[in-house]
């Protein structure tokens, strides 16, 4: 499956996760990156300034993480932020007042909120389009368009954007391309290899994998963009702390093992839900009838571990949320424990109801992030909750 497999097999990626260049401390041989719990660094010589002088500008522990994600995504430089939204916000601040960006229509609610309540006040315009149709993307371009922001699979309806097609058009028109790769991770999808300029992650999710930290990551494809992102990161100061940088590296090491198991279970869950009489619709790229599944398979190595499904009404959704016992009923996703979310009141609460409905985010839609529990136990639990 997929073009990426030609460049880096799953076997090679598994090795990269463990042997990423920072796994051994060169000075002591320690089998873990040291925590440099320091805000400032001594200047031994004023004539020869040190690489690190202040942790906002750079810290060896955070640098190890930033090098790690750049290595995994195939970019020139990585950047670690205090949250996924901090990473996304910083990337959008590459734009200036008067600029315009084209965005996936059913984008994460936090990104929608940023664009429609904050960046619009800075005179940065946004147009939300169905990116499954390239013609709609092309039609949305204005004279002041400077960037395209993709989310594929989208959150929460898992729509598929043809990354190569969009990036080729954007490059021909001098536009910066950004892609939120949270759902797929660099294990299953490497957008930079498909021409994307900036890859973004809410590392709180699958990369961390344990619901115990907030973090965001960005990776730049070119040196020019890397320098611009570095300037923004240092100027804004929205960097990831040392402890969380270390903890995130620890989580990433098990990414493949966790993702393999969670995706296997997600496929089983999606198939079961698609046959359940109480379920109106199931959204999962691995289902045979999922729109543009073939496009997804060309650009990804798997289908991920998020399954969305519609139970027909808000009343039915709330009843299921109350009766389910195994999953954590909460915002977020990508953890070792299964998380059942209600987008209408959680991830997409910032989106007006009429806008949600236009994008297929109905009152009966639920999003299930499959964890590492036994899938048969999950199905048994959902069966009783759906009755």
Tell me how far CA of residue 33 lies from CA of 6, 59, 288, in angstroms. Answer: 31, 12, 43
- Residue 255, classed as helix, strand or coil, is helix
Catalytic residue among 106, 180, 244, 310: 180
Are 78 and 219 in contact, with CB atoms under 8 Å apart? yes
Catalytic residue among 159, 190, 205, 256: 205
Annotation marks residue 52 as catalytic:
no
**Read out DSSP for 143-190?**
TTEEEEEEESS-TTT-----HHHHHHHHHHTT-EEEEE-TTTHHHH--
Contacts of 224 (CB under 8 A, 6+ apart): none
Radius of gyration of the chain (CA): 21
Are 347 and 108 in contact, with CB atoms under 8 Å apart? yes
Sign (positive/negative) of CA torsion 17, 19, 20, 24?
positive
Tokens describing residue 157: 């309806």
Q: Give the torsion through C-alpha atoms of 204, 195, 260, 87, to 10 deg.
A: 0
Pairing of strands 339-341, 328-329: parallel
Annotation marks residue 56 as catalytic:
yes
Annotation marks residue 180 as catalytic:
yes
Catalytic residue among 16, 56, 250, 318: 56
Tokens describing residue 180: 């939120």
Query: Is the bond leading into 58 cis (omega within 30 degrees of zero)?
Result: no
Q: What CA–CA distance (Å, rounded) separates 205 from 182? A: 7
Catalytic residue among 36, 108, 112, 187: 108
Contacts of 125 (CB under 8 A, 6+ apart): 99, 100, 101, 142, 144
Q: Of 270, 295, 265, 300, nearest to 284 (Cα)?
A: 270
Are 349 and 356 in contact, with CB atoms under 8 Å apart? no
Which amino acids are annotated catalytic?
56, 108, 180, 205
């Amino acid at each position: 499956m997929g073009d990426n497999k030609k460049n880096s097999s799953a076997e090679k990626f598994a090795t990269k996760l463990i042997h990423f260049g920072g796994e051994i401390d060169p000075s002591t041989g320690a089998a873990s990156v040291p925590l440099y719990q320091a805000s400032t660094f001594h200047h031994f010589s004023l004539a020869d300034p040190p690489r690190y002088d202040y942790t906002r500008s750079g810290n060896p522990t955070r640098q190890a993480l930033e090098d790690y994600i750049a290595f995994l995504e195939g970019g020139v430089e990585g950047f670690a932020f205090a949250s996924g939204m901090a990473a996304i916000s910083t990337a959008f601040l590459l734009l200036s007042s008067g600029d315009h960006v084209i965005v996936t229509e059913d984008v994460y609610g936090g990104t929608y909120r940023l664009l429609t309540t904050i960046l619009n006040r800075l005179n940065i315009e946004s147009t939300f389009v169905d990116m499954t149709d390239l013609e709609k993307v092309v039609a949305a371009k204005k004279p002041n368009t400077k960037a395209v922001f993709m989310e594929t699979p989208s959150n929460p309806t898992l729509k598929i954007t043809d990354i190569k097609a969009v990036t080729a058009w954007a490059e021909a028109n001098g536009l910066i391309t950004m892609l939120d790769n949270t759902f797929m991770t660099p294990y299953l999808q490497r957008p930079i290899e498909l021409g994307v300029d900036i890859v973004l992650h809410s590392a709180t999710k699958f990369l961390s994998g344990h619901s115990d930290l907030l973090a965001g990551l960005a990776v730049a494809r070119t040196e020019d963009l890397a320098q611009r992102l570095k300037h923004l990161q240092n100027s804004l100061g929205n960097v990831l702390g040392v402890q969380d940088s270390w903890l995130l590296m620890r989580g990433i090491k098990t990414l493949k093992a966790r993702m393999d198991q969670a995706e296997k279970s997600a496929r089983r869950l999606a198939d079961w839900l698609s046959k359940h009489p109480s379920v109106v619709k199931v959204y999962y790229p691995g289902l045979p009838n999922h729109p543009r599944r073939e496009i997804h398979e060309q650009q990804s190595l798997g289908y991920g571990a998020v399954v969305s499904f519609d139970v027909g009404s808000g009343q039915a959704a709330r009843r299921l949320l109350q009766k389910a016992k195994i999953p954590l009923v909460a915002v977020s996703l990508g953890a070792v424990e299964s998380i059942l979310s209600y987008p209408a009141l959680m991830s997409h609460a910032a989106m007006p109801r009429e806008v949600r409905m236009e994008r297929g985010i109905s009152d009966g839609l639920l999003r299930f992030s499959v964890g590492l529990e036994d899938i048969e136990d999950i199905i048994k639990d959902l069966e009783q909750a759906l009755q």
